[in-house]
Amino acid sequence: MRKIRVLFLCTGNSARSIIGATLLRQLGGDAFEVFSAGMHPKGVNPYTVRVLEPLGIDMSEERSKNVSEFAEQSFDYVIAVCDSTAAECPVFPGAPRRIHWSFVDPAAVEGTDAEKLRAFQRTAREMKTRLATFVPVARRTL
């Protein structure tokens, strides 16, 4: 059985797209082949690592990638997780389903260490909830 290919996109590929991709790998298992990229990659935010590692996710190999690395690949779904990326999302071969999920950028939150960490945790919870609905639908439609 072929895997469902999903690409998560955001502006910096430092938080939201990485969190979404990582959680989908965990929730979707072997049914999905998942990637993340950014329009203007900034590097992986340390809070992204802090919020995912307690879930048993190894972040040592994760890196921030430019969307151009995936330009010639085809996907079943391209999920933009921020408003600016949805507006400038490139076209991919194979006419993937394009989805726009607008999440507040936790990397933009200012405040104490605890406040920043809570923002990343909130984003991860919201994404996990959204993905819990997405996974069974994606499995049925492809």
Pull the structure tokens for residue 50: 């802090």
Q: What is the percentage of the chain residues whose pLDDT exceeds 90?
A: 76
Please give the positions annotated as active site. 10, 82, 89
Report the alpha-carbon distance of residue 51 to residue 7 in Å, rounded.
Answer: 21
Tell me what the mean pLDDT of segment 109-116 comes to.
96
Amino acid at the residue 67? V
pLDDT number for residue 59: 86
Q: Is the pLDDT of residue 66 over 80?
A: yes
Q: What are the tens digits of pLDDT across the range 10-49?
A: 999 999 999 999 999 999 999 999 999 999 999 999 999 9
Contact in structure between 134 and 33 (CB atoms under 8 Å): no
- pLDDT at position 111 is 96
Q: Long-range contacts made by residues 84-92, C-beta under 8 angstroms, separation at least 24?
A: 84/11, 84/39, 85/9, 85/10, 85/11, 85/38, 85/39, 88/39, 89/9, 92/7
Predicted pLDDT of residue 86? 61
| pLDDT band at 115; cut points 50, 70, 90 | very high
Residue 139 reports pLDDT greater than 70: yes
Of the candidates 114, 117, 23, 11, the residue with the CA atom closest to the CA atom of residue 62: 23
How much is the mean pLDDT over the chain? 91
Residue 87 pLDDT > 70, yes or no?
no
